[in-house]
Structure 1
Amino acid sequence: MAVETKKETLGFETEVKHLLHLMIHSLYSNKEIFLRELISNASDAADKLRFEALSNDRLYEGDSELKIRLEYDKEKRTITVIDNGIGMTREEVQEHIGTIAKSGTRQFFESLTGEQAKDSELIGQFGVGFYSSFIVADKVTLTTRKAGADKSEGVRWESTGEGDYTIESVEKAQRGTEIVLHLKESESEFLDGYRIRSIVRKFSDHISLPIVMDKEIMPSMDKDEEGEEAEKAKAPAPVEEETINRASALWTRARQEISEEDYNEFYKHVAHDFQDPLVHVHSKVEGTNEYTLLLYVPSRAPFDLWDRDAKHGVKLYIRKVFITDDAEQLMPRYLRFIRGIIDASSLPLNVSREILQQSKQISTIKSGAVKKVLGMLEGLASNDPEKYAKFWSEFGTVMKEGPIEDHSNKERIAKLLRFASTHADTDKQDVSLENYVSRMKEGQDKIYYVTADSFSAAKNSPHLEIFRKKGIEVLLLSDRIDEWLVSNLSEFDGKHLQSVAKGDLDLDKLDGEEAKKEQEDVNKEFEPVLKQIKDVLADKVSEVRLSHRLTESPACLVADVYGMSLNMERIMKEAGQSMGMGRKPIFEVNPAHPLVARMKNEQDDSRFADLTHILFDQAILSEGGQLDDPAAFVHKLNGLLQGLLH
């Protein structure tokens, strides 16, 4: 059958060109990783074919011996990586090679610094895979055919890694993908069998697929027949294929046989990451539901951590046969940063996605895997606080989703949470709830916190004034997720979590009888003032009362004990959700503040009203809120200031 050439020259996406330039310059010092990346991709292609062939073994086309073959040619200056995996269609080549089909790309490029050392880490985090070929090659030719397609449906892609690439239809007898790297003049070191073998053994020994090369067999030399043998030696030496990696699934080996370097290299393969992982857990569970897991925490958050559509990082195998890398049933959303594999022995090989979703065995495996991950993090927190602090800086915000999503492990997750607090007054989140409880004042029975849209706003909240005066620690919560966290984590160690900006503070146990009597007297004295303020503000507030939480500020807004916090209302409004169901705030005034004391003796009703509105608007601003009428606020404030000039 004749092949329709249909050759096109197409331009790379801007992001691809940018990435190629950055990668070639930033990763050049670690250029040998190109071979690891190509081998990892070939291994993935074989995994996908093996899974597809479970339901259609004709895809093997009579060749079910999956392997990766490496070749090099000193004269042509080429290295070739060949796999007989799933292969690609023309559309898939354009999707996976001509573009970067990943959300979060823009944020990734915005995060680049221009410093090669830092950018190389970010590029590795992004996962460049195939494009790493251009670190050593000035031209790359990829030829592929999808398993099961006609041999006329082959595709050839070629590029010099600059502005564009060509793509054409070709005839290809064998399924799978062949990648030919035309090496730069400066990269002759890779045209050496020993060098290639050493790279494979360093980076890809754990690949369960055989990686093969031709082994040269030197003919023996008989001194008595030297002339004849010299002639024979000129002829090409006979060759045979040899497997140059161990070709056994790493996770099936005994832990004592696996070095830390082996674990790290397997992580880089399975996660397509360039950096070593932070920590890992390798465990085998035996019994009626038997499975092995090898799970990792990356050193850095993946660039698409906040992409809700991103695939999970845990691959499901059944008896070493890859099944899926989109197994949402294996790990909850709050652990979406976990990478690795789970190999289940007791599931059927022909399991479908629908069966996975309904399988009790999968639910049991997921539950066990989550417990292993939490145990790994607990060990890290106890044994290496410095490393745990690094983990928290990368993944802490995601972990805060845990108590919301995973009620069965809420207490364990709560112990792993870290917060900033007034104990240190820094934005570093290093205070655990156990730390807080251990420092609680005698008679204190609540864990106090404040929420705000920034650390600075939380730290300077007027709600903290009485707590600072009494030396009571308050957690400073400024991540958006914190509002949802505290609504789902109501207590810890029998202690209720209490917002300092909600309800009436119950600090009576920490006050003496004399202080209580003094408060009662002040309340009576200010009753008329509070009524007049309420009349002025009318339906803007639900109540006006004297504040027992302010020591320096004149006024503040407080949410009802069961109401939505003002910070949460603001977040919801920004998200475009109407908060008509929100309750009106309580307005608290500080009787010890000169402005409030002045109001007690103010005879001019108009002046009293202006002062009331100014204090109310100031309270809104101190909460990070926005005024309905900023111009009116400025006008009233200017009037008050002008009065001071006379």
Structure 2
Amino acid sequence: MTNQKGSISIHTENIFPIIKKWLYSDKDIFIRELISNGCDAVNKYKKLISLGEAKGNTDEHYKIKVSIDKENSALIFEDNGIGMTAEEVEKYINQVAFSGAEDFFNTYKDKMNEENDIIGHFGLGFYSSFMVSKKVQIDTLSYKENATPVRWVSEDGLEFELTQSDNRETRGTTITLFLADDSKEFLEEYTVRNIIDKYCSFLPVDIYLETIKTEETKEDEVVDTTPINDTNPLWLKAPKDCTDEEYKEFYRKVFKTFDEPLFWIHLNVDYPFNLKGILYFPKLKNEFELIEGKVKLYNNQVFVADNIKEVIPEFLLLLKGVIDCPDLPLNVSRSFLQNDRDVSKISKHIVKKVADKLKSLYKNERENYEKFWDDIQVFIKFGCLKDESFYDKVKDSILFKTINSQYITLNDYLENCKEKHENKVFYVSNEEQQSQYIKLFKDYGLDAVILDSTIENHFISMIEFKNQGVHFNRIDADLSDILKDNDNEGNKEIKTDIENLFKDVIGDRINNYSVESLKSEDTPAIILISEQSRRMSEMRSQFAGMNFGMSFEEEKTLVINNNSSIVKKLVSLKDDETKKEKVSLICNQIVDIALLSNKELDSKELDEFIKRNNQLMSMVISL
């Protein structure tokens, strides 16, 4: 063949700088691109054989070998795929952005079925090698009879030299990168192995990695004949052919964990788009803000990126899994994905499959679903807040754990409690802090649900909006009429005396005072906090530093029990001047104990509480 020199034709004006600055944000992406090109070349050759367009054996051992040559500061990628002629090098290499895979598919599309197993869309992929190289050399031999091996060399990606090759005698392509001084880290086998594991661990062609030994180290050479990738990942199998242990083992392998997932969803769609994958539900508990899941996006078994929110909805990123979608391009901007209709359809389909799985578990495996609930509830609630369509699909499968350790739906709770408090849901946000109220509710045969994650306020507001007329009240926010002893309402004059006594002693530490006849005589007083004021106060704390033009302080009400023997005794002593100090001491103690049952005292209040305790102990000792 005739030696040739020339300039590379840029299909799109000034596209070459984009390769370095925009298209490939990760420097190591060139390894993915070159290995994927090798895989593409193998698949093309196998497809031609199956179409009768090439002579060969589809059972041949096809492979890609990556070699590290430290002596020459080179990284070598070799495949036994379709190879290229000089004309094809001119067409696919010298004309940047001309996709060889796309051209191949267009040529043979009439003979191919709907499954396009050519990775494709790598038009710019080869040129990513110039991000790390001072010189790139291609040696290639086409599968075509009497083809001549070709060598292509370029030192800057803009000028090239095309000659006959003297080191390629068999079909396929060898790409040699002579690494730049600032890219020598790619001569370390550990580094290259990790990159291949990241991007190419599931490519459908065997990948081998070796470090070329020097004369001094050849005697110690140990050749590893095991591929470093898995060519048949679990997501390609039919769900009916996969065992539970295989799912668990794949989870541990991909995410490098010893934990087991709660359950999983196997995606297997061929129409109207091609989508396969497995989504796992890990144990999330309530610390969702501290946990970032990992959903890996693949294109024909080539890793693209983790957690692409345009493809996988944000709330699903709390999960772990793999999604393989050949219909998505490998190298595009986020804005393209946001505006692509197919991407939107894929995202909606994934949400639907997750919702279908949850509904199926609720309906067919209720016992297991309840066991999982504490771990998955944050994910489900977050999903309902982020995606209205998801809420509409799973709303009847949302469970609420009660203070009696039962798991019921909202409708179940409302039906069970309608005679005692219709359309009102009592809830607990902190079981330890609100233990007194929980005990009180249990004593009166009342029920409440436990809502103790950080997103509950938003979730409650959404549920109230979706279910007009239903109101959520924290267990310390409303004194249900059920707690009152209606048979012993007490003398109104005595109630007034009790209220005035506490108002005079306590003053404006408490916003409101109320005297009620509670059934339990053991509780002198309890603190109630207005539900609305508490929500506003919590909202203010979430947006610390922002000025809303008003203060959102919690509105507290002290409910004093006139059935309490302690309260009755205090009323009888209120006019005794000799007992005035002790009455004041006891009143303050009652209030602080009520506050402690609701929340922690601040430092000043706690200091006063400790002093009074010491005084009370001194008084008892002196008796």
> Normalising to structure 1: TM-score of the pair?
0.56
Which of these residues, 426, 435, 442, is aligned with residue 468 of structure 1? 442
Residue 544 of structure 1 corresponds to: 513
Q: Does 1:296 align with 2:284?
A: no
Q: Once the 2 structures are TM-superposed, how far is the Cα of residue 499 of structure 1 from its aligned partner?
A: 2.2
Q: Does 1:329 align with 2:310?
A: yes
Which of these residues, 486, 501, 505, is aligned with residue 480 of structure 2? 505
Residue 263 of structure 2 corresponds to: 279
The whole-number CA distance in structure 1 between the counterparts of 2:285 and 2:24 is 27
Cα deviation digits, residues 155-197 of structure 1 (max 9, x gap): 99xxxxxxxxxxx958959998359xxxxxxxxxxxxxxxxxx
Q: Once the 2 structures are TM-superposed, how far is the Cα of residue 462 of structure 1 from its aligned partner?
A: 3.4
The whole-number CA distance in structure 1 between the counterparts of 2:428 and 2:418 is 22
Residue 558 of structure 2 corresponds to: 587
Q: Does 1:597 align with 2:568?
A: yes
Contact 2:385 2:459 in 1 (8 A): yes
Residue 440 of structure 1 corresponds to: 417
Contact 1:526 1:600 in 2 (8 A): no
Which of these residues, 316, 322, 344, is aligned with residue 297 of structure 2? 316
Q: Does 1:370 align with 2:351?
A: yes
* Unpaired stretches in structure 1, ≥5 consecutive residues: 1-49, 68-80, 88-144, 157-167, 180-204, 215-238
Contact 1:85 1:177 in 2 (8 A): no
Identify if the C-alpha distance between structure 1 residues 421 and 280 changes in structure 2 by more than 3 Å, giving closer, same or farther.
closer
Q: Which amino acid aligns with 1:591?
A: N
Q: Once the 2 structures are TM-superposed, how far is the Cα of residue 368 of structure 1 from its aligned partner?
A: 2.6
Contact 1:463 1:550 in 2 (8 A): no
The whole-number CA distance in structure 2 between the counterparts of 1:52 and 1:338 is 25
Contact 1:501 1:565 in 2 (8 A): no
Residue 192 of structure 2 corresponds to: 177
Describe the SS at the equivalent of 2:318. Answer: coil
The whole-number CA distance in structure 1 between the counterparts of 2:451 and 2:474 is 10
The whole-number CA distance in structure 2 between the counterparts of 1:456 and 1:581 is 25
> What pairs up with 1:122-137 in 2 under 5 angstroms?
none
Q: How many residues align?
A: 449
Residue 379 of structure 1 corresponds to: 360
Contact 2:511 2:556 in 1 (8 A): yes
Q: Does 1:340 align with 2:340?
A: no
The whole-number CA distance in structure 2 between the counterparts of 1:304 and 1:153 is 45
> What pairs up with 1:213-232 in 2 under 5 angstroms?
none
Identify if the C-alpha distance between structure 1 residues 507 and 350 changes in structure 2 by more than 3 Å, giving closer, same or farther.
same
The whole-number CA distance in structure 1 between the counterparts of 2:192 and 2:334 is 27
Residue 75 of structure 2 corresponds to: none
The whole-number CA distance in structure 2 between the counterparts of 1:173 and 1:264 is 32
The whole-number CA distance in structure 2 between the counterparts of 1:366 and 1:548 is 57
Q: Which amino acid aligns with 1:209?
A: P
Residue 633 of structure 1 corresponds to: 609
Q: Does 1:489 align with 2:489?
A: no
Q: Once the 2 structures are TM-superposed, how far is the Cα of residue 616 of structure 1 from its aligned partner?
A: 1.4
Contact 1:318 1:344 in 2 (8 A): yes
Identify if the C-alpha distance between structure 1 residues 209 and 155 changes in structure 2 by more than 3 Å, giving closer, same or farther.
farther
> What pairs up with 1:97-246 in 2 under 5 angstroms?
148-150=132-134, 151=177, 153=179, 169=184, 177=192, 207-211=202-206
The whole-number CA distance in structure 2 between the counterparts of 1:577 and 1:52 is 36
Describe the SS at the equivalent of 1:341. Answer: strand
> What pairs up with 1:38-49 in 2 under 5 angstroms?
none
Identify if the C-alpha distance between structure 1 residues 321 and 640 changes in structure 2 by more than 3 Å, giving closer, same or farther.
closer
Describe the SS at the equivalent of 1:610. Answer: helix
Residue 65 of structure 1 corresponds to: 38
Identify if the C-alpha distance between structure 1 residues 375 and 631 changes in structure 2 by more than 3 Å, giving closer, same or farther.
same
Cα deviation digits, residues 379-427 of structure 1 (max 9, x gap): 2344334543553344444444344444443365555555543324xxx
Q: Once the 2 structures are TM-superposed, how far is the Cα of residue 639 of structure 1 from its aligned partner?
A: 4.0
Describe the SS at the equivalent of 1:282. Answer: strand
The whole-number CA distance in structure 1 between the counterparts of 2:518 and 2:66 is 71
> Percent same amino acid at aligned positions?
20
Contact 1:504 1:561 in 2 (8 A): no
Q: Once the 2 structures are TM-superposed, how far is the Cα of residue 564 of structure 1 from its aligned partner?
A: 0.6
Residue 140 of structure 2 corresponds to: none
Describe the SS at the equivalent of 1:533. Answer: helix
The whole-number CA distance in structure 2 between the counterparts of 1:630 and 1:171 is 62
The whole-number CA distance in structure 2 between the counterparts of 1:436 and 1:444 is 11
Q: Once the 2 structures are TM-superposed, how far is the Cα of residue 533 of structure 1 from its aligned partner?
A: 2.0
Identify if the C-alpha distance between structure 1 residues 498 and 422 changes in structure 2 by more than 3 Å, giving closer, same or farther.
same
Q: Once the 2 structures are TM-superposed, how far is the Cα of residue 516 of structure 1 from its aligned partner?
A: 4.3
The whole-number CA distance in structure 2 between the counterparts of 1:483 and 1:500 is 14
The whole-number CA distance in structure 1 between the counterparts of 2:395 and 2:65 is 47
Describe the SS at the equivalent of 2:356. Answer: helix
* Unpaired stretches in structure 2, ≥5 consecutive residues: 1-22, 41-62, 70-128, 135-176, 195-199, 210-222
Q: Which amino acid aligns with 1:294?
A: G
Identify if the C-alpha distance between structure 1 residues 319 and 177 changes in structure 2 by more than 3 Å, giving closer, same or farther.
closer
Q: Once the 2 structures are TM-superposed, how far is the Cα of residue 613 of structure 1 from its aligned partner?
A: 1.7
Cα deviation digits, residues 24-50 of structure 1 (max 9, x gap): xxxxxxxxxxxxxxxxxxxxxxxxxx9
Which of these residues, 433, 451, 469, is aligned with residue 428 of structure 2? 451
Contact 1:283 1:293 in 2 (8 A): yes
Identify if the C-alpha distance between structure 1 residues 62 and 386 changes in structure 2 by more than 3 Å, giving closer, same or farther.
closer
Q: Once the 2 structures are TM-superposed, how far is the Cα of residue 570 of structure 1 from its aligned partner?
A: 12
RMSD: 5.1
Residue 558 of structure 1 corresponds to: 528
Identify if the C-alpha distance between structure 1 residues 362 and 586 changes in structure 2 by more than 3 Å, giving closer, same or farther.
farther
Which of these residues, 549, 566, 591, is aligned with residue 616 of structure 1? 591
Cα deviation digits, residues 94-138 of structure 1 (max 9, x gap): xxxxxxxxxxxxxxxxxxxxxxxxxxxxxxxxxxxxxxxxxxxxx
Describe the SS at the equivalent of 2:472. Answer: strand
**Which structure has the larger Rg over C-alpha atoms?**
2
Cα deviation digits, residues 602-645 of structure 1 (max 9, x gap): 21454443332222111111113124333322333444555565
Residue 47 of structure 1 corresponds to: none
Describe the SS at the equivalent of 1:329. Answer: coil
The whole-number CA distance in structure 1 between the counterparts of 2:185 and 2:442 is 75
Q: Once the 2 structures are TM-superposed, how far is the Cα of residue 594 of structure 1 from its aligned partner?
A: 1.4
